[in-house]
A and B are shown apart, each in its own frame.
Chain A
Amino acid sequence: MALQSLDITRRSATSTQPPDRRKTQEVVKLIDVSKCIGCKACQAACMEWNDTRDVIGANHGVLDNPMDLTAASWTVMRYSEVETDRGLEWLIRKDGCMHCSDPGCLKACPAPGAIVQYSNGIVDFHEESCIGCGYCIAGCPFNIPRLSKKDSKVYKCTLCSDRVAVGLEPACAKTCPTGAIVFGTKEDMYHHAEGRISDLKSRGFAKAGIYDAPGVGGTHVMYVLQHADKPELYHGLVKDPDISPLVSLWKGVAKPLVTMAFGAGILGAVMHYVTKGPNEVSEEIEKEFKDEK
């Protein structure tokens, strides 16, 4: 982390800009859904590199497993069987943090330095500063961060910032057997995607295109989609993601006030309620706790 501190362009809950920073090239992980075979090698590589191990769960009537992102599963494959004018299609999307240029999580975060953005575009969580409030979860338009039940801190894909910092590609890109995941500068990835899109168009996917969500200023994880006009076909990929107006309010006006107000009581609680809901442990979570025992 220490070496990368020079690359930080934004820090959560910090009004002053980091004073000195190195310029690095903006990077992108491009996921070509049309080449993905859903083998889950990326899920395995992610667990291996980041040394996370989810629970050995159960089958829920689908091939997806683990069923959702968790504090230990930073990426999961989402399988969607859809009927289009081409007949049955099985769309398989690797889900995980999109590394937004305008990250809702960072904006929502009240803990100084718990979320940072590097000049290469990677949005990273520094768990040692995380206070476990979960505002980032509400701030994320893609529903990505997950709160750990073990240490009450939030986890998500780091885009292997530790690998990228030393010139390696993310573990998932390294392991992907079909080259569906590629990694490079944003410019190069756009160029690569264009080639893929023209190939898809030649195969009858008239609406093939790139997914780079303008509502969040573009992302550093992009998709090539066969049906770019209907991202929701891909297990509900958000069509026009944007940051909740409440987060903008919090960030723009309210947060500095609250930060100043000693205790930050009322508004913080209100914010907590609107973004996270009441403080209740859901039945599901309770059940999971029991299952783990």
Chain B
Amino acid sequence: MTNHWVDIKNANVIIVMGGNAAEAHPCGFKWVTEAKAHNKATFIVIDPRFTRSASVADLYAPLRTGTDIAFLGGVINYLLSNDKIQHEYVKAYTNAPFIVKEGYEFEDGLFSGYEAAKHMYDKSTWAYEIGPDGYAKVDPTLTHPRSVFQLLKKHYSRYTPDAVSNICGTPKDTFLKVCEIIATTSVPDRTLTFMYALGWTQHTVGSQMIRTAAMVQLLLGNVGMAGGGVNALRGHSNIQGLTDLGLLSNLLPGYLTLPGDKETDYNAYISARAFKPLRPGQLDYWQNYAKFHVSLMKAWFGKAATKENKWCFNWLPKLDKVYDVLQVFELMHQGKMNGYFCQGFNPLGSIPNKAKLIAAFSKLKYMVVIDPLATETSCFWENHGEYNDVKTSEIQTEVIRLPSTCFAEENGSLTNSGRWLQWHYRGAPPPGDAKPDADIIAGIYLKLRELYQKEGGAFPDSILNLTWNYDIPHAPSPEELAKEYNGKALADLTDPKDKSKVILKKGLQLDGFAQLQDDGSTSCGCWIFSGSWTEKGNMMARRDNYDPSGLGNTLNWAFSWPANRRILYNRASCDPSGKPWDPKRRLIWWDGAKWTGVDVPDFKPDVPPGNPMSPFIMQPEGVGRLFALDKMAEGPFPEHYEPFETPIDTNPLHPKVVNNPAARVFKDDRAAFGTSKDFPYAATTYRVTEHFHFWTKHTRIASILQPEQFVEIGVELAKEKGIKDGDWVKVWSNRGFIKAKAVVTKRLKPLQVNGKTVNHVGIPIHWGFKGLAKNGYLANTLTPFVGDANTQTPEFKSFLVNIEKA
């Protein structure tokens, strides 16, 4: 989230799109009801299904799954053609005035630089025109034909209300009503918030869907404002913490990145990440990259990390490609990866194309599963009839299950969607021999270290030199780990303005990341968490909900990264002269000497208004990007591409380029796609409120509340197929089949799309062949093995199936 859960109550308009907050985030959803009850907020739900969120909405707009960019592109077109944008904000705080390099083009569905053979772009033309002073050129009048503003206008002029309705199946008048309500927030004292979740991320164009929403918010001047922003509702408890700590294969903690295999030079690695400012006078905070990186390496390798050995840069793995989940299981399927540690993850349930996963797991030599539950993954070799029809005797994989504690059985912090690190305490001892994950990993590490000590090896350095100074080496405590993430001074730290003044003594916990150094005098395990456990103690355990402004910015409740800041980009809540856009919802203001307010200013505190420094301090140009430069795989402006399995067989905007041209598709998986001829129905998978992923089918109460697998179909489709409420149905894709009970509902209506009637089939995911609920089929038997071109998040939300009464 750019903002946080409580802040939702400050919104005037709330849009849930690409998510179903009432159902999947019922506790956080209370802030939507707050906004409605006490802020007279208008609540809109845009979704293929009339969801539980829609049941309490003021307006529901249906759309075909996978067409969100078309819808939001239409909103951009509406805002621009009806002049409903926040002009001053757009001019000062976005890259609308920036001039794009000559050579940039968009034609017939492709941006300039496409390399068809590689399914990739040469992005060199997706850049600003740079002036002789080394800075990007701008046109404050926004009239230059190559200004971002003019290019934006041109790009989205194709997204007319008729085009939107034709692609999305949304009735035109409903679409226009949504646009009108959104447009009311283009004034400075009204805000809109977007709440989204996996309904956006799980598409081959998922990242671009989110970007389109961000662009709408920039045009309306809603980023940095109370009740505004683009708000990702995170799923798994602590999935936010997982990404923060860099547990994706290409990341290091705090969104630092691993080097690629061509990046063998340390200085080049750093300078490629410490971006040079693109406009004069910008803070450009990533220029501090080396401080974050060196402090991380000091936390990991202690005295072994020195200036001379480039802080152990050579010990870091260098990536030849990104090892995302799809890549990993593809390699496993090819027999190229033959050992697998699986921690807190149930890929047999959570990864597309179950048949491929079973084949891949069957080729492994060993699989180690660390989990509190007997997951389907750990039992993939068991035959459960049609639910898991494997030949056990032919599977030679050795499976080792290491029972771990669950979150309620250990101390620690959980990071919520609003970036709050909230400390919690153990509620009960773990059952049997279950151990905390940290203890299990420590045990494995200590054994490995012992082996390396005894036997040496090709590359023992990083294992032998890893900092491991925990009180109980085989059981690092959550408190010790948290302190390590916060970081400490390795030497006396002095005031940069007066070197004789010591601001922090050697050995003390850091106050925050502003104290980090790139000379080896600080260590910090995750720079964005710095400030969470200082000399004042555990900031995450704070529970003071004092809220002087009434806006919900409770600065003494837990710790919010970065720097305990609650609303990101909050400098943009004031106009360039430093005056809050909305006097009723002031977040920060200039008090004559410094920035102050009810939030921690997201700005250099002593830079006065009127200075050229702009609010988006992490960007080298200081402003929000309507034009994404080279940061996205498939183009600087989001474009509507169809799902890889589309029910309409074409892209009405450009029939020659149907789906995402930059998506990565493995050979066998392309062959496993189905077409609308055999699979005429648009399918989408989702969660229901009674269950949490594949966990709660192991608990009795949740199993009582929703005991048995079902799929949802509309009344019209049911009639056509002769299916009644509660009938057994068989649903199949080109990759397999499931059987489930039919829930026939008015909440899924056929949509008119490009001259065709499109019906949806809704497939909740929660059932499987382990647990207390009635056995069912893993829904991901059906889904296609293709992901978003940037993140490789699988396209669980849009694919094709057929359905019959079983």
* Chain A residues engaging chain B, CB cutoff 8 angstroms: 34-41, 43-44, 47-48, 53-63, 65-66, 81, 83, 87-92, 177-180, 195-196, 199, 202-203
Contacts and interface: CB of A to CB of B under 8 A. Distances in A.
B37 A56 contact: no
Contact of A56 (B36, B53, B700): B700
B747 interface: yes
A36 B52 CA distance: 9
A178 B55 contact: no
A179 B38 CA distance: 13
A35 B704 CA distance: 24
Given A39-B23, A53-B704, A56-B773, A62 B37 contact: no
24 contacts: A37-B29, A37-B52, A38-B52, A39-B22, A39-B26, A41-B26, A53-B700, A56-B707, A57-B704, A57-B707, A58-B707, A59-B707, A61-B725, A61-B743, A63-B743, A66-B704, A83-B746, A90-B50, A178-B22, A178-B32, A179-B33, A179-B34, A199-B37, A203-B58
B134 to A, nearest CB: 53
Contacts of A196: 37
B342 interface: no
Contacts of B709: 59
In this complex, the member of B37, B60, B688, B773 whose beta carbon has the largest number of chain A beta carbons within 10 angstroms is B37
B325 interface: no
A206 to B, nearest CB: 15
Nearest to A66: B704
B357 interface: no
A91 B689 CA distance: 16
Contacts of B582: none
Interface string B738-754: 00011111110000000
B401 interface: no
A37 B22 contact: yes
B27 interface: yes
Given A59-B743, A83-B746, A92-B52, 12 more contacts: A35-B56, A36-B56, A39-B26, A56-B703, A61-B727, A61-B742, A81-B745, A88-B60, A90-B50, A92-B55, A178-B30, A180-B33
A58 B774 contact: yes
Task: For the complex of A and B, list the 5 residue pairs with the smallest distance between their C-beta atoms, beginning with the closest.
Answer: A61-B725, A61-B726, A37-B22, A90-B55, A59-B708
B701 A53 contact: yes
Contacts of A41: 26
B632 interface: no
Given A34-B56, A35-B56, A39-B26, A60 B702 contact: no
B242 interface: no
Interface in B680-734: 688-690, 700-710, 724-727
B727 to A, nearest CB: 7
B747 A81 contact: yes
Nearest to B31: A178
Given A37-B53, A92-B55, A177 B742 contact: no
Contacts of A55: 704
A35 B35 CA distance: 12
A38 B689 contact: yes
A61 B741 CA distance: 6
B40 interface: yes
B29, B52, B741: residue with the most chain A Cβ atoms closer than 10 Å:
B52
Contacts of B745: 81
Interface in B1-59: 22-23, 26-27, 29-30, 32-34, 36-37, 40, 50, 52-56, 58
Contacts of A58: 707-708, 741, 774
B772 interface: yes
A194 B602 CA distance: 42
B47 to A, nearest CB: 13
Contact of A44 (B22, B34, B701, B747): B701
A97 to B, nearest CB: 20
A40 B707 CA distance: 13
B747 A61 contact: no
Nearest to A204: B58
Contacts of B53: 37
A65 B22 contact: no
B746 A81 contact: yes
A174 to B, nearest CB: 13
Nearest to A87: B60
Nearest to B25: A177
B444 to A, nearest CB: 37
A154 to B, nearest CB: 21
B689 A39 contact: yes
Contacts of B710: 59, 61
A196 B747 CA distance: 26
B747 A88 contact: yes
Contact of B705 (A35, A65, A87): A65
Contacts of B60: 87-88
A81 B50 CA distance: 10
User: By CB atoms of chain B within 10 A, which of A34, A178, A180 has the most?
Assistant: A178
Interface string B771-792: 0111000000000000000000
A199 B36 contact: yes
A81 B51 CA distance: 12
Nearest to B62: A88
A195 B33 CA distance: 14
Contacts of A65: 690, 704-707
Contacts of B34: 179
Contacts of B701: 44, 47-48, 53
Contacts of A54: 704
B707 A37 contact: no
